Amino acid sequence: MSKPKFKNPVVKWIDYRLPIFTFMDHELNHYPTPKNLNYFWNFGSLAGIALVTMIITGIVLSMNYTPHVDYAFDSVERIMRDVNHGWLIRYIHMNGASFFFIVVFIHIFRGLYYGSYKAPRELLWILGVLILLLMMATAFMGYVLPWGQMSFWGATVITNLFSAIPVVGESIVTWLWGGFSVDNSTLNRFFSLHFVLPFVIVGVVILHLVALHRFGSNNPIGIDVKGTQDTLPFHPYYTIKDLFGLGIFLTLFAAAVFFFPNFMGHPDNYIEANPMVTPAHIVPEWYFLPFYAILRAIPDKLGGVLFMFGSIAVLFILPWLDRSPVRSSQFRPIFKIFFWVLVLDCFLLGYLGAMPAEGIYVILSRIATAYYFFHFLILFPLLPYIEKTKPLPISISQPVLSGSYTAAISAAREKK
């Protein structure tokens, strides 16, 4: 790769001593990117922007927030009513969490569909799953901060999950609480961790990007880049595409913030926490519902907890569960169908997580949970032995230049 020529003498002076501009030029300007990326590749940069938005609004919120059981609820109400633009900042933070999860979920399913977790991107994928876990911890603790009824009871139920651990469970829960129930010590430590974990996420995101830039992006047909004819420089081609996607994202985000800011929240969280009364129907935030459904589907306390954490654990080992050498679902006709079944299954689990745990809902939760694990633990390893994959094109350019995949494939065959 040629060394960039900077004209500005100050930039030159700095770059000679601290090659930060060379680095940026390399990673953000020339960075060769497969030329066939579709809009599903926008969600990575969107996730980054969502993270930055959360950090900026979060820092501002914490300037007005009081982490104490007697003041937390009122301090959030004060942010909403009295602090200049406080309502806007809080609604951005509140809805930002939901949009962050929407973006990250799409980003993950993109990876599943196009086989982006396969060699040599296993660590890239694992770092991504780690980010998901950290996000879940951060969002869970953030939701406790406004100290509403859902904050309190969500925290109680989720921390109590650890009491399922044999022998040491109760001591772990007491340790997490710093007392004998969710109380002031719990709120304080959650605030501290909620503040710092996003910065840990930033660190893992950097590692995620280093791993990404090692081999570059995967692409919709999942075959490796063969040379410069298959790529475009990141700037201006993908910077503009990412910006266009950002425009659409911000439009939807702003619509939620300004027109239905409480749509994704729960009204009970506008009632101050009361340790003496549990709301009739407690539900976690929507992004936790599929996991909550799995928890409740298992009729045993420890079993439920293990299956819930297991649903994320299978993602960590996915690169080794999937035995198919073909990355993209475009060439895996059976897998492609099951992919959509999995998507539906996750939506179903999300719906069931919001329903009361009784009657038909319990039965459906069990079926949906069973399917989830079947998909990861049986289908992924075994399907490649049965499935006949479609022939792969020889390069990314070929199908594009000759108009269609079939043309490319026949061209490839003629050559042999």
Partner 1 sequence: MSTKSNLKSEQDEDKRDFLIVSTYALAGIGAAAFVWPLIDQMNPAADTLALASTEIDLSSLEEGQAITVKWRGKPVFVRHRTADEIKQAQEVSLEGMRDPQTDSERVTKEKYIVLVGVCTHLGCVPLGQKSGDVKGQYGGWFCPCHGSHYDHSGRIRKGPAPTNLEVPSYKFLSDTVIKIG
- What is the Cα–Cα distance from 344 to 81, expressed in whole angstroms? 40
Q: Give the count of residues interacting with partner 1 (CB under 8 A).
A: 34
Which of residues 48 and 178 has its CB atom nearest to ligand HEM in the complex?
A: 48
Identify whether 93 is a catalytic site residue: no
The closest alpha carbon to 85, from 63, 67, 70, belongs to 63
**Active-site residue, selected from the candidate residues 25, 230, 242, 322:** 242
- What is the Cα–Cα distance from 325 to 389, expressed in whole angstroms? 10
At a CB cut-off of 8 Å and minimum separation 6, what does 387 contact? 324, 332, 333, 334, 335
* Contact flag: residue 266 with ligand HEM (CB under 6 A): no
- What is the Cα–Cα distance from 15 to 24, expressed in whole angstroms? 11
* Contact flag: residue 80 with partner 1 (CB under 8 A): no
Residues 21-80 interacting with ligand HEM (rule: CB under 6 A): 51, 54-55, 58-59, 61-62, 65, 76
* Contact flag: residue 154 with ligand HEM (CB under 6 A): no
Read off the tokens for 357: 């745990």
Minimum distance from residue 189 beta carbon to partner 1 (Å): 7
* Contact flag: residue 180 with partner 1 (CB under 8 A): yes
The closest alpha carbon to 233, from 22, 24, 29, 21, belongs to 29
Vertex 23 angle, CA 22 and 27, to 5°: 120
The correct pick among 46, 94, 104, 126 for binding ligand HEM (CB under 6 A) is 94
The correct pick among 92, 126, 182, 201 for binding ligand HEM (CB under 6 A) is 201
Minimum distance from residue 160 beta carbon to partner 1 (Å): 4
Identify whether 70 is a catalytic site residue: no
Longest dimension (CA), the chain: 77
Identify whether 241 is a catalytic site residue: yes
Q: At what angle do helices 122-144 and 86-114 cross, to 10 degrees?
A: 150
* Contact flag: residue 358 with partner 1 (CB under 8 A): yes
Listed ranges 140-148, 163-171, 330-338, 397-405: which one lies at the site for ligand HEM (CB under 6 A):
140-148
In angstroms, the first-to-last Cα distance of the chain is: 33
The correct pick among 33, 42, 138, 186 for binding ligand HEM (CB under 6 A) is 138
The correct pick among 8, 38, 185, 262 for binding partner 1 (CB under 8 A) is 185
Q: From partner 1, ligand HEM, none, which one binds at residue 138 (CB under 5 to 8 Å depending on kind)?
A: ligand HEM
Which of residues 62 and 163 has its CB atom nearest to ligand HEM in the complex?
A: 62
* Contact flag: residue 276 with partner 1 (CB under 8 A): yes
Q: For residue 402, which phi and psi values (nearest 5 degrees)?
A: -95, 15
Q: From partner 1, ligand HEM, none, which one binds at residue 153 (CB under 5 to 8 Å depending on kind)?
A: partner 1
276: exposed, middle or buried (Cβ count in 10 Å: 0-12, 13-18, 19+): exposed
C-alpha torsion angle, residues 236, 239, 242, 248 (rounded to 10): -80
At a CB cut-off of 8 Å and minimum separation 6, what does 280 contact? none
Distance of CA 22 to the CA centre of its chain: 31
Q: From ligand HEM, partner 1, none, which one binds at residue 100 (CB under 5 to 8 Å depending on kind)?
A: ligand HEM
- What is the Cα–Cα distance from 133 to 139, expressed in whole angstroms? 10
The correct pick among 110, 121, 194, 296 for binding ligand HEM (CB under 6 A) is 194
**Active-site residue, selected from the candidate residues 217, 311, 329, 395:** 217
* Contact flag: residue 156 with partner 1 (CB under 8 A): yes
The correct pick among 93, 121, 208, 296 for binding partner 1 (CB under 8 A) is 296
* Contact flag: residue 286 with ligand HEM (CB under 6 A): no
Helices of type H across 115-148: 122-144
Vertex 357 angle, CA 355 and 363, to 5°: 100
Listed ranges 2-10, 156-164, 229-237, 265-273: which one lies at the site for partner 1 (CB under 8 A):
156-164
The catalytic site residues sit at 213, 217, 241-242, 285
Binding site for partner 1 (CB under 8 A): 153, 156-157, 159-161, 163, 174-183, 185, 189, 275-278, 280-282, 296, 299-301, 304, 356-358
